[in-house]
Every structure is written in C-alpha cells, then in structure tokens.
C-alpha cells in the first residue's frame, strides 16, 4: 500500500509543534466550517435504547432522503439506486470490486486524489494515468489522449468533479466528450462528486448521472464529509441506475454488515440543512481561495491556477523537490515561530517524475491563518536551499 502524501509528514509536524511552533495545516481537507446545527441538535437529542445494525444498503429512510436530494438537482434516481457506505472511500472500493477484476485497467486524469492509488492497490486494479497540465489549468486532457490508452483490459474511467487536488470543474461539454468514449468502448464511468456544493464564480456543476445514453455505465461516488463538514461521520454513498452493480455491491456491503448507524442518523439530519448554510460556506471559501491563490501568484516563480470548485489548489513552486521542501518546512524552517504543512504533489500522480515541483494546498483554515500561511511560504521560498531559477524549473519540468 502506498503511503498517503497527505498524512505521511505528520511525525514531522508533531515534532515542529513540540518545539512550540504554530503549524498551519494546508495538507488535509479538514474544514473548520461548523457542522450544520440540525445535525448537532439531532445527535444531542438522540433517543435510542439500542444502537442497531441498519440494512446493509443503509437505512431506507436515509436512502429515500438522498434520492430526494438528487432529484432536487435533476437526477432521476430512487432509493433502490443508492447504497450507503462507510465514507466515499468505501463506495469507490466497492465500485472497483464490483465492476472490475484484478488486472483490469482504469484511466484516471492526473493529478488525482492520492487514495485512488490505495483503492486500486486494494482491489488489484491497474491505474492508467492521463496527464492534465497545470499550464492548461488542469482541464480535461484531449479525448485523443484517452483513446491512446485504451486496451482490451480497459474497463473504466474515473473522474473527480469538482476535482481534488486541482479544484478544476469539468464543463458539460467535457463530460459529454467522456460520455461518447464511454459509450463507444462500453466502459464504466466512475464520478467522484463529493464537492458538488462548492462551485465558484457562477460555475455550475454537472453530474455524470445526467448524461444521456450511458445510464447503466455511470457510478457516482458521494459523501457527507465535506458537504456538511462531517468528515468524522464516515458516511458516503454509491449511486447508480445499474441494478446489477447495486446488487453485486450489496454483497460486499453484507460482508461488512452495515454502514455506521450514528453517521447515517447525522447524514439524514443533514438533508434538512437550509440553503443559506451553503451560500455562506461558498462565500467563505471564495474569500479563502482568493487569499491563498492570489497571494501565491504574487510570489516570484509561483504558478497556481485559480480553482472553480472544491477547496484545493495545486501550486508549482521554484524548488528542486516538493517532498524535500515539505519536510524541510517542518524540520528546519520557521518564520516568527510559524510554519506550514503542505502535501507534496508527487503522491497525486501515477506517472513517475511528475509533480516534483508541485504541492497541494487545502484552503480550509480561517482567513487570518491563510494570510499568515502565505507569508510563511513566501519567506520559506526565499530561504530554501533547493530553490531553483525559472530556467532550472523548465529543465526539471522537461525531465
């Protein structure tokens, strides 16, 4: 199993804190946004004498509530098309176990959520990357690049929309080009849509479940973790119109008995979250994004495309090696007794050698903390022994 680039530097962060340093955690998508009050109230006022198993697919009342939620933005599903899972992670693992055999291949635009590597390792599925470029803002690579990678072993394509780690939001036209290749080659299209609520500057998300003509090919991965700032609830969902996929995934669900009862209670309560909650959260994330991304782009030698969704960004820095730099920040650097924890982007690529000068940042801290973190990074890049010039950056990128 690969180590998580998001968590592998934790021991160094702990050592920095032991020295009395403030560490700004931009490495992990753990929002400080408050969980909706309707959820907290439901948990506080829970009246149960037994914490029982649910159905292996999840409580029916919760699945019915989820179906209503999806219907609300134009997706026609009912509760039998939904399986509640232990986080979005389990939904994707079940989808891979259900739709693929060991040795099958799945094409994923990179950089991608690092744990996709772990999920594919768990299930024996081979990740075949198609590279999105920072120079293009991480837009979907040309469909011709997908075509080059298709073999008899290719069984699916996986996207994250809006994207982690890039924050890129696929347009309707980009999704339709994917639909055409999925239909032509009869592939599965897995769509990780856990950041759907977080789209900015008037951008509108489009679900893969809305694509016509491939209804039986689409499997959507969802989660309450980021939508309602409920990462610890560990509740997600697998959503598909393909009854064979649902029925087979349920067998894996039966083997783990049931998803978390408390998490489902919280998830069902969250469905009553008022729309004003998301309006306020999106406005907050836009301000945080602008502080982070605009601040980074003012630093000499830094490139950071502005995300249209989620709360992540990939930045290219004038450094020799992102893994070394991220460790150096925690081990050796401090500015006014502060430092920053980042995730090196090498772990978000499957292609060896890519992401060497890139880091992922999660702008999930309050605005004051983000402003201080950007200043820390600027000071760090001035002092880092492995800083490179623009010409050296091009050489590293070319290699």
pLDDT in tens, 341-388: 999 999 999 999 999 999 999 999 999 999 999 999 999 999 999 999
Per-residue pLDDT band for 389 (boundaries 50, 70, 90) equals confident
Per-residue pLDDT band for 393 (boundaries 50, 70, 90) equals low
Going 388 to 389 to 390 to 396, the CA torsion angle's sign is negative
- For residues 340 and 356, is the Cβ–Cβ distance under 8 A? no
pLDDT at position 391 is 57
Q: Is the pLDDT of residue 394 over 80?
A: no
Rounded mean pLDDT, 20-28: 94
pLDDT at position 390 is 61
- For residues 139 and 174, is the Cβ–Cβ distance under 8 A? yes
Candidates 312, 263, 322, 319; CA nearest to 288 is 312
pLDDT at position 120 is 96
5 or 161: which leads in pLDDT: 161
Report the distance separating Cα 166 and Cα 177, nearest Å.
20
Rounded mean pLDDT, 183-207: 96
Query: At which residue do the structure tokens 């939508």 appear?
Result: 227
Q: Is the pLDDT of residue 395 over 90?
A: no
Length of the chain: 399
Which two tokens mark 353? 């050698």
- For residues 51 and 257, is the Cβ–Cβ distance under 8 A? no
Rounded mean pLDDT, 102-108: 98
pLDDT at position 289 is 97
Query: At which residue do the structure tokens 């072993």 appear?
Result: 153
pLDDT at position 5 is 72
Per-residue pLDDT band for 212 (boundaries 50, 70, 90) equals very high
Q: Which fold has domain 10-34+276-398?
A: 3.90.1150
Candidates 188, 195, 129; CA nearest to 160 is 195
Query: Does 162 sit behind a cis peptide bond, omega within 30 degrees of 0 on the bond before it?
Result: yes
pLDDT at position 130 is 98
Q: State the chain's mean pLDDT as an integer.
A: 95
pLDDT at position 108 is 98
Per-residue pLDDT band for 25 (boundaries 50, 70, 90) equals very high
Report the distance separating Cα 315 and Cα 304, nearest Å.
4
Q: Is the pLDDT of residue 60 over 60?
A: yes
Domain boundaries in the chain?
Answer: 10-34+276-398, 37-270
For residue 82, list its beta bridge partners. 239
Q: What percent of the chain has pLDDT over 70?
A: 97
Report the distance separating Cα 337 and Cα 21, nearest Å.
5
- For residues 325 and 359, is the Cβ–Cβ distance under 8 A? yes
Neighbour-count burial of 35, counting CB atoms closer than 10 A to its CB (0-12 exposed, 13-18 middle, 19+ buried): buried
Name the 3-class secondary structure at 102.
coil
Q: Is the pLDDT of residue 8 over 90?
A: no
Q: Which fold has domain 37-270?
A: 3.40.640
**Alpha helix locations (H) across the chain?**
10-18, 37-44, 60-71, 87-99, 115-123, 143-149, 172-185, 243-255, 261-270, 275-297, 322-331, 367-383, 390-398
Rounded mean pLDDT, 63-88: 96
Q: Is the pLDDT of residue 165 over 90?
A: yes
Task: Tell me the per-residue pLDDT of 257-290, one tens digit each, with 9 for 90 and over.
Answer: 999 999 999 999 999 999 999 999 999 999 999 9
Q: Is the pLDDT of residue 226 over 60?
A: yes
- For residues 111 and 165, is the Cβ–Cβ distance under 8 A? yes
pTM of the model as a whole: 0.93
129 Cβ neighbours under 8 A, 6+ residues apart = 107, 108, 109, 110, 112, 349, 350, 351
Neighbour-count burial of 163, counting CB atoms closer than 10 A to its CB (0-12 exposed, 13-18 middle, 19+ buried): buried
The DSSP result for 115-157, as a single string, is HHHHHHHHHTPEEEEEE--GGGTTPPPPHHHHHHH--TTEEEE
Q: Is the pLDDT of residue 66 over 80?
A: yes
Candidates 198, 221, 195, 200; CA nearest to 209 is 221
pLDDT at position 30 is 85
Pairing verdict, β 22-25 and 338-341: parallel
Rounded mean pLDDT, 331-335: 96
Q: Is the pLDDT of residue 216 over 70?
A: yes
pLDDT at position 396 is 52
């Amino acid at each position: 199993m690969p180590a998580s680039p998001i968590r592998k530097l934790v021991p160094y962060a702990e050592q920095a804190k032991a020295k009395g340093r403030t560490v700004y955690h931009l490495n992990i998508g753990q929002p400080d946004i408050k969980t909706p009050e309707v959820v907290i109230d439901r948990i506080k006022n829970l009246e149960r004498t037994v914490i029982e198993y649910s159905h292996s697919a999840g409580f029916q009342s919760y699945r019915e509530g989820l179906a209503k939620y999806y219907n609300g933005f134009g997706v026609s599903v009912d509760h039998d098309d939904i399986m509640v899972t232990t986080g979005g992670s389990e939904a994707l693992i079940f989808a891979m176990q259900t739709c693929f055999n060991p040795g099958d291949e799945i094409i994923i635009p990179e950089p991608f959520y690092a744990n996709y590597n772990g999920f594919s390792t768990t299930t024996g599925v081979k990740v075949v990357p198609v590279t999105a470029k920072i120079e293009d803002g991480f837009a979907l690579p040309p469909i011709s690049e997908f075509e080059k990678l298709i073999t008899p072993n290719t069984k699916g394509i996986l996207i994250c929309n809006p994207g982690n780690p890039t924050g890129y939001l696929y347009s309707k036209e980009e999704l339709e080009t994917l639909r055409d290749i999925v239909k032509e080659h009869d592939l599965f299209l897995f769509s990780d849509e856990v950041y759907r609520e977080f789209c900015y500057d008037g951008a509108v998300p489009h679900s893969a479940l809305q694509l016509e003509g491939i209804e039986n090919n689409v499997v959507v991965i969802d989660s309450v973790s980021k939508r309602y700032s409920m990462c610890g609830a560990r509740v997600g969902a697998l959503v598909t119109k393909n009854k064979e996929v649902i029925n087979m995934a349920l067998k894996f669900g039966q083997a783990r008995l049931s998803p978390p009862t408390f998490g489902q209670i919280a998830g069902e309560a969250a469905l009553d979250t008022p729309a004003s909650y998301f309006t306020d959260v999106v406005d907050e994330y836009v301000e945080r994004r602008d502080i982070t991304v605009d601040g980074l782009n003012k630093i000499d030698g830094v490139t950071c495309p502005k995300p249209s969704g989620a709360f992540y960004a990939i930045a290219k820095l004038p450094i020799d090696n992102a893994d070394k730099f991220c460790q150096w920040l925690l081990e050796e650097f401090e500015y006014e007794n502060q430092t920053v924890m980042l995730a090196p982007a090498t772990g978000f690529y499957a292609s060896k050698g890519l992401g060497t000068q890139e880091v992922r940042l999660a702008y999930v801290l309050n605005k004051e903390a983000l402003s201080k973190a950007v200043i820390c990074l600027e000071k760090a890049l001035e002092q880092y022994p492995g800083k490179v010039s623009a010409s050296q950056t091009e050489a590293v990128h070319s290699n």
